[in-house]
Structure 1
Amino acid sequence: MKQAIVARTDISMGTGKLAAQVAHASLSAYEKADTQLRNQWKQGGQKKVVLKGDSERTLHELAAIADQEGIPNAIVRDAGHTQLEPGTVTTLAIGPASDERVDRVTGDLSLF
């Protein structure tokens, strides 16, 4: 079981902003998972990987694939209080789900 968080590389986010956006995405996708997936993931150590996404379009395309596969996912839009314009898409979390299911969606992406 794991979760993949895809963060955009085509926008400027400081380290703290990136960390916050990754956390928002992780929690949002977790909340969309059913109880069984949540429990399995928590008992397995809540494995996560953070991956590079080159554009907003990429995140939306990956989310559509995850939707088709029935994998919980969540796109995060920034509130715009600090570094980014309001509504800027920053991250996408996919899972928790089995490693194999998540890899079918994100396996071609590089680690952040």
Structure 2
Amino acid sequence: MKQVICMRHDLKMRRGKQIAQGAHASMAFLSDRLREKGAISLDDFSEVERTWLSAAFAKVCCRIDSEDELMEIHDKAVAAGLEVHLITDSGRTEFHGQPTRTCLAIGPDLAEKIDEITGHLQLL
């Protein structure tokens, strides 16, 4: 079980900005469920997701070199039926006021399912 965070490296974000964007992507898995359902319980998650939540919360951060590559990974993960959360920064502190797609999180799910989409990427 794992979650993979794919971070755009071409944006040359400050390290703190990268960390914040990755945290947004990772937390979107839970925060979206809260927004959808209000209060949530473990019954609101699949067996795979419950296993990840009760284990080590394994996360892997990978490098993406362009928005096109980010969206290609996004589309492949969606087509594979994986949980995917794309993060678009508002642009208030970086990116000159332009909303900018910075990263995405895939999963949590079985490592082999996610690796079919992200296994070729470099670690960040």
Question: How does the TM-score come out when normalised to structure 1?
Answer: 0.92
Segments of 4+ in structure 1 off by > 3 A?
Answer: 29-34
- Note the alpha carbon deviations across 1:40-86, whole angstroms, 9 max, x for none: 11112110000000111111111111111110001100011212243
Is 1:23 equivalent to 2:34 in the alignment?
A: no
Q: Could you say which residue in structure 2 is the equivalent of 1:11?
A: 11
Q: Secondary structure at the match of 1:105?
A: helix
- Cα distance in 2 for residues equivalent to 1:103 and 1:110: 12
Give 1:39 deviation, angstroms.
1.5
Q: Secondary structure at the match of 1:76?
A: strand
- Cα distance in 1 for residues equivalent to 2:111 and 2:74: 16
Give 1:12 deviation, angstroms.
1.8
Is 1:98 equivalent to 2:118 in the alignment?
A: no
Indicate the larger mover: 8-17 or 82-91.
82-91
Measured on the aligned residues, the alpha-carbon RMSD in Å equals: 1.6
The answer for unaligned runs of 5 or more in structure 2 is 34-43
- Cα distance in 2 for residues equivalent to 1:96 and 1:32: 14
Q: Could you say which residue in structure 1 is the equivalent of 2:40?
A: none
- Note the alpha carbon deviations across 1:12-62, whole angstroms, 9 max, x for none: 211110000000011113456860243111112110000000111111111
Q: Could you say which residue in structure 1 is the equivalent of 2:119?
A: 107
- Cα distance in 2 for residues equivalent to 1:29 and 1:6: 14
The answer for unaligned runs of 5 or more in structure 1 is none
- From the CA coordinates, give the structure whose radius of gyration is larger: 2
Q: Could you say which residue in structure 2 is the equivalent of 1:73?
A: 84
Identity of aligned residues (%): 38
Find 1:38's aligned residue among 49, 55, 67: 49
Q: Which amino acid aligns with 2:79?
A: Q
Question: How does the TM-score come out when normalised to structure 2?
Answer: 0.83
